């Protein structure tokens, strides 16, 4: 549904922030990890 397409990126970003250590704050690295995870989900 459209809800999942809109909700997934936001919840993934929140999960990335909560899961990572406070010292990890490079958004480019996080974007790479989220892209890799998205590919896994689409398989």
Q: How much is the pTM?
A: 0.61
Q: pLDDT tens, 1-43?
A: 688 878 888 888 888 889 888 888 888 888 898 899 889 888 8
Entry field: residues in the chain: 43
**Domain limits, the chain:** 2-42
C-alpha span between 22 and 31 (Å, rounded): 17
CA distances from 19 to 6, 25, 32, 33, 43 (A): 21, 12, 15, 12, 24
Give the per-residue pLDDT at 1. Answer: 61
Write down the number of H helices and E strands in the chain. 2, 0
């Amino acid at each position: 549904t459209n809800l999942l397409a809109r909700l997934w990126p936001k919840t993934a970003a929140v999960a990335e922030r909560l899961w990572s250590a406070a010292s990890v704050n490079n958004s480019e690295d996080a974007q790479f990890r989220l892209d890799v995870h998205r590919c896994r989900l689409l398989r």
